[in-house]
Homo-oligomer: A and B are copies of this chain.
Amino acid sequence: MPFSNVAERREQPPALAVSTVIFSLRDDERTGRKSLWLPLVRRTREPFRGQWALPGGPLGPRDSLLDAAANNLRDTTGLVPRYLEQLYAFGDLDRSPTRRMVSIVYWALVREDDPHGTATSVLVDDPNVAWFRADDPEVLGNLAFDHRQIIEYALWRLRNKVEYGSIAHRLLGERFTLAQVREVYEAVLDRALDPANFRRTLRSTPDIEETGEFLSGGKHRPPRLYRYTGSTTHPLESENIS
């Protein structure tokens, strides 16, 4: 027991940490559609030893918030997303049972099959890192700290922030088909969308243009590949990993 009473613990200066919520699209046999998954790490120390938690760690004196989040994510899971966006700063007094902690949480959408090994290269054979469905109540109910609320807030933000073109290209990378974009929206909104109408609205935005190429290798008619061009978001809303 590191501190004898609550009053003493509360006089400790607040500690600063960063965490990350990484969403990825994966097939879901249950619905037939794709759904959102996220990586968690098993805690090896008290408090909450053995329970699942968001990747994260302390903020070093020489790291910017973004660097700290990205480095920590890479070290614990092997993931290197292209962008991280700041989600929220959590600072309630009772977040951690041991000491006062302020966590600045970043989040991202990553693609499952990234050429840089972005999303799939979660440290293979490490039993302390695993992917879970983002809305699995079994998992959410047993997370460390207030990480359940953090994930639920990230999901809420995601669903309330969906704008055509701006979210999907971060998940899908350089070139993508319109059906892939639609899969992202269907997973986030958790409902089926009309392919024809979705295509119409997407094509009407100036931020998405044809590449002239087609995606071959599929089982059916090969779809066109598109590219995202646009600086829709504010710089702070989507920071590039150095």
Q: Mark A68-93, 1 if CB is under 8 A from B, else 0.
A: 00000000000000000010110111
What is the CB-to-nearest-CB distance from A85 to chain B, in angstroms, rounded to a whole number? 11
Provide the bound-state CA to CA distance between A64 and B94, in Å. Answer: 9
Q: Are A89 and B92 in contact (CB under 8 A)?
A: no
Interface positions, chain A 42-98, Cβ under 8 Å from B, are 59, 61-62, 64-65, 86, 88-89, 91-93
27 A–B contact pairs at CB < 8 A?
Answer: A11-B61, A11-B62, A12-B61, A13-B13, A13-B16, A13-B61, A14-B16, A16-B102, A59-B102, A61-B100, A62-B93, A64-B91, A64-B92, A64-B93, A65-B89, A65-B102, A86-B88, A86-B89, A88-B236, A89-B89, A89-B104, A91-B104, A102-B104, A153-B234, A156-B234, A157-B234, A160-B234
Given contacts A11-B61, A89-B104, A91-B104, 8 further A-B contacts (CB under 8 A): A13-B16, A16-B102, A61-B100, A64-B93, A65-B89, A65-B91, A86-B88, A153-B234
* Alpha-carbon distance A93/B236, docked complex (angstroms): 15
Residue A10 interfacial (CB < 8 Å): yes
Q: Quick one: closest B residue to A65, CB to CB?
A: B91
B11–A153 touching, CB < 8 Å: no
Given A86-B88, A156-B234, A236-B88, verify A14-B59 contact (CB < 8 Å): yes
For A13, what are the chain B residues with a Cβ–Cβ distance below 8 Å? 13, 16, 61
Complex Cα spacing A61 to B10, Å: 6
Measured between beta carbons, the chain B residues less than 8 angstroms from A92 are 64-65
B-facing residues in A1-24 (Cβ within 8 Å): 10-14, 16
- List 9 A-B pairs, minimum CB-CB distance, nearest first: A65-B91, A89-B89, A89-B104, A156-B234, A10-B62, A11-B61, A14-B16, A10-B61, A64-B92
